[in-house]
Amino acid sequence: MVDRPRLITPEIAEKYGVNPHTVTKTWAQHPQWPAPSGKRGRYKEYAAQDIADFVRDHIERQAVSLEPRRLYTAQELEDAEIGIKAGTIRADLTRGRWPEPDDTEHGVKRWYGTTAAKALASRRGYRKAQSPDSADDAR
């Protein structure tokens, strides 16, 4: 797709890998959704930069920083503000959408920071998590 200065719903959906229904019925209902900047055919047009800013600020989840070798419970992961609740982790675990725990000593399920960061990176809308070790490698 050619980068345009203004986008319509099908182009927004294609660019961000979502269904057009998600754009019109979810994103566009958000109070911070940008105002249209024109019209093309039957669709409202939006400034591409305004859409990019909205997605960055309201849709993408921020990268998390977890200690790679530390073990975390689901509640500790939630408390680390990873963007999902402990209950979601537990539910996803039972549905096979979250990795098995790295440690279950005393019946407590715990994951290493690297395991949790990898699981988060594979979820839709997460920026790649960076552990302190990988930040050193990047330098």
Topology adopted by domain 6-59:
Multidrug-efflux Transporter Regulator; Chain: A; Domain 2 (1.10.1660)
Distance CA 133, CA 85 (A): 26
Characterize the bridge pairing of strands 6-7 and 71-72.
unpaired
pTM (two decimals): 0.55
Q: How is the chain split into domains, by residue range?
A: 6-59, 71-131
For residue range 13-25, what is the model confidence (pLDDT) as tens digits?
Answer: 999 889 999 999 9
Q: Which 3 state secondary structure label does DSSP give 129?
A: coil
120-135 tens-digit pLDDT = 887 765 544 444 444 4
